[in-house]
Amino acid sequence: MTLEDRVTQLEGELASLRRRNGALVAFALIALTVPAILAFREGQEKVIRAERFEVVQDGKTVAELSASVYGGRLKIYNKEGKFVAFLRALPDGGGLSIHNKEGKFVAFLWAHPDSGGLDIFNNDEKAVATLWAHPDGGGLGILNKDGKAVAALWAYPDGGGLGISNKDGKPVAGLWAASDGGRLELTSPDGRVRFKAP
């Protein structure tokens, strides 16, 4: 074997050793790095924490999650950026308000310690109807455009009742169930009884 042949052979062996050493170094780096990455990820919290979080679409906020003195709250906006829904914690439970596409307040669902209710509002944001629960059952109230209660339907221990009021909210008629049958009473706006049966 000539000197030139021996140098060529040594160069080949050296290149082969370099390739093997490179592979060993890469394997060693992977063997040391992967467990460290996995350990880091396992120790990481899988929760994003912030005082406020916004979802944005085309530069406009479409949802906003934040905190209040009573707990959490979530505001929802339509694609025009108008406020359309608001879910929040309240002192007695939760509340959900619904707004129309112009952002006007039209409905509110609420909770109390022993009941829940729903209020409906007109386009002027005035209450026109309310539905609620109480220990004896449910109730429904109807208000006129001026906010005066003009009708009420409710449950109580002996059955159901219906109350009718004039435009000023003065009671003028009542129909209700009693343990011995039905009752009807008609009154004048000043409270004088006009008719009563039985």
Among 47, 64, 83, the domain boundary falls at 47
- How confident is the model at residue 16, as a pLDDT? 57
Domain containing 36 equals: 1-47
**Angle 178-184-190 (CA atoms, 0-180°, nearest 5)?**
120
> pLDDT tens across 58-81, in order?
888 899 999 999 999 999 999 888
Instruction: Please state, in angstroms and rounded to a whole number, the distance separating the CA atoms of residues 96 and 75.
Output: 10
Cβ burial of 99 (10 Å; 0-12, 13-18, 19+) is buried
Q: Are residues 95 and 81 in the same domain?
A: yes
> For position 163, which CATH number holds?
3.90.930.1
Q: Are residues 114 and 81 in the same domain?
A: yes
Q: Which two tokens stand for residue 173?
A: 């008629």
Q: Are residues 142 and 78 in the same domain?
A: yes
C-alpha distances in Å from residue 88, one per residue of 18, 21, 73, 91, 189: 66, 62, 4, 10, 41
Q: Are 147 and 126 in contact (CB under 8 A)?
A: yes
Counted domains in the chain = 2
> pLDDT tens across 33-44, in order?
555 566 555 555
Q: Are residues 100 and 149 in the same domain?
A: yes
Among 47, 68, 83, the domain boundary falls at 47
